[in-house]
Amino acid sequence: MTTNAIRLTSPHELLAIVPFVLGFHPTSSIVVLCLSDNRLGLTQRLDLPRPEDAHSVASALMPSLVNENPDSVILIGYEDSVGQSLAALEALTAALQSAAMRIHDRLVVRDGRWRSLDCHSPDCCPPGGSSVPEATDVSRVVAEFIGQGIAPHPDRQALAQQLEPGPQAVAVAEVLRSRQKARAKASDCPAAFRRMSRSIRRVLSSRTVAGTRRTVIHLGYSLPSTSSGLPASSGGPPSNACCLTLLQVGFT
C-alpha cells in the first residue's frame, strides 16, 4: 500500500484543506481537529452555539474527544461577526484543559481573513489578520485532493442535498417491501429472491441513485482516509502557535 503525502508549512495552508476534509466550506462553525502521531484523527464540526449554550456544546463534544485521546488539538472558529465564536472557543478550551489535552492552536476565520488567538507576534500574525487562501493560491496543496476526486461543496446545505432521497427512492422502497413479502410467502423459493435482486439492481442502476451512491463513497473516503499531523506542542497553546512548521496530509 502506498501513501501520497502533502506537506503543509503554515496555518494558511491548513485552512485551505479544511473544506476538503469536511466536504464543504464551513460558515458559523466550530471545527475541532485532533492530531495524533502526526496524523489527523477525529475531525468535528458544529454550528456555532448561542453564548449561553457554549459550555453545554463543549461538554457534548468532550466524550468523543476523550475517547480519541489525541496528542494535541486545533480549534477553528468560523464566524460572521466579531467575537461570535469566542464563547465556543473559550468553553472548549476550558474543557480540554480540564481533561489535560494540549491545544496546539486556536484560529478565528472571519470575512475572508484569519488570525490566531494565541500568537502575539505582529510579524507572524498582523493585527488585521491574514487572507484565507483560495484553492488557486495553494494549488500545490489542493492538487492531491483534486486528483483524488475530492472537491468541497459551497456549504453544508449543498452537501446535505446530495444525500436527500431522489425520485427513485419510492421505487427502491417498494422493491424492498416486495422482497420482504416474497421472503415471507416463498421462503423455500430461491427463484423469487433472484427476481427481487434483479429488480433492485435495475432500480439502483438509475442515474439518480447511482449518483447518490458515489456521493456517499466520496464522503466516506475523504474523511477517514485523509490524515495529517503537527509537531506536538508542550503544555498549553504556545505564544507562536500559529507558526506551523509541518503538517502532513496523506492519502492511502
Q: Taking each helix axis from N to C terminus, what angle separates 86-98 and 54-68, rounded to the nearest 10 degrees?
A: 40
* pLDDT value at 140 more than 60: yes
CA–CA dist 213, 149 (Å, integer) = 15
* pLDDT value at 101 more than 90: yes
CB atoms within 10 A of CB 223: 15
Q: Taking each helix axis from N to C terminus, what angle separates 190-204 and 207-222, rounded to the nearest 10 degrees?
A: 80
Quote the pLDDT of residue 199: 63
Quote the pLDDT of residue 58: 93
In the chain, DSSP finds a helix count (H) and a strand count (E) of 8, 9
152-192 per-position pLDDT tens digit = 887 878 777 777 777 777 777 777 788 777 776 655 556 65
205-230 per-position pLDDT tens digit = 544 444 333 322 222 222 223 333 33
